[in-house]
Amino acid sequence: MKSLYAWGAIAVIVLTSTAGDVLLSRAMKQVGDVGALRRRVGVLAVLARVLKNPNFLLGVLCMATAFYSLLFGLSWGDLSLVVPASTSLTFITNAVAAKIFLHERVDQRRWVAALLVAGGVVLLAV
Amino acid sequence: MTFRKYLVLAGVAFFAATGDGFIARGMKQVGNISLHHLPDILLVVLNPVIALGVLFLLVFFTCYMTALSWADLTYVLPATSVSYVVLTLIAKFILHENVSFTRWLGILLISAGVGFVTQGPAFTPPPREKSEELLASLSARLEP
């Protein structure tokens, strides 16, 4: 039963951190190139623009949910299961979500990279 | 991609790894926090090592947001996973932990993934820019 809870937590971590990454990425694309913007309007104006972006706030909320789910997951399952499983799965779900929601050109190169990193993360924890 | 942008990506990897490292070390100094004393979790930031970790993670978040402002998510995530390599090297050479063969194999896979993704373009131009690019290349071809 405990392992079912742990996998439930892993699913929530993967979903919320993927949603968080996609929302943060969308927010920053809406804000624009931070380096160029900073030279034009200054650091404080850039900061205000980021903090006022609804996608950014929602993204941070998702990331916070992912963090607390991780804490719950760790109380139900082993560190060596919860962390690598959720991290490596997030690399793959992020590639899918970025293609669907951000319309990124996820070509063969990026798929291979995501799969290699996901596999590598699993091996680190073995 | 300019040198400055690669530096931001390196910042994401470096500050994520070292920030996590400081927090892990600090939490070991603080010890277990009981569920009955949850407010204690707010006081852990008074530990200087944890405070340093939080500071590093703030720098990490700034670098991460900066990178996402000019690069794709599917580029930034694999490219910055070099932080796992940094963490393992820290574990091996600074903390003198035992790093097993499978972990070195994991490092190899991650490094290969990083190498793969950084060879490609960092950014997918939005559809409007794509059509502008196409127009520009067409008109360049049509010019005598």
10-residue mean pLDDT profile of chain A (126 residues): values are: 83 96 96 91 93 96 91 80 88 94 92 93 85
* Residue B14: domain span: 3-142
> What residues of chain B lie within 8 A of the CB of A99, using their CB?
74
The residue to which tokens 């299961």 are assigned: A81
Break chain A into its structural domains and give their ranges: 2-125
Task: Output the CA torsion sign for B24, B29, B35, B40.
Answer: negative
d(CA A43, CA A59): 21
Structure tokens at A33: 């190139």
- Which residue in A118, A60, A46 sits closest to B77, CA to CA? A118
Asked if residues A56 and A82 have their Cβ atoms less than 8 Å apart, the reply is no
**What's the total number of domains in chain B?**
1
Residues of chain B found within 8 Å of residue A37, distances taken between Cβ atoms: 69
Contact (Cβ atoms closer than 8 angstroms) between residue A55 and residue A26: yes
Average pLDDT over residues B112-135: 78
Q: Do B74 and A114 touch (CB under 8 A)?
A: yes
B49-86 per-position pLDDT tens digit = 989 999 999 999 999 999 999 999 999 998 898 888 88
In angstroms, the Cα distances linking A11 to A4, A16, B6, B116 are 11, 9, 32, 28
Question: Under an 8 A CB cutoff, do A116 and B4 touch?
Answer: no
Task: Give the confidence band of B130 by pLDDT, cuts at 50, 70, 90.
Answer: low
Of B64, B69, B106, the CB nearest to A32: B69
CA A119 to centroid of chain Cα atoms: 17
Confidence class for position B131, pLDDT limits 50, 70, 90 = low
d(CA B69, CA B124): 12
Q: How far apart are CA B84 and CA A72, in angstroms?
A: 23
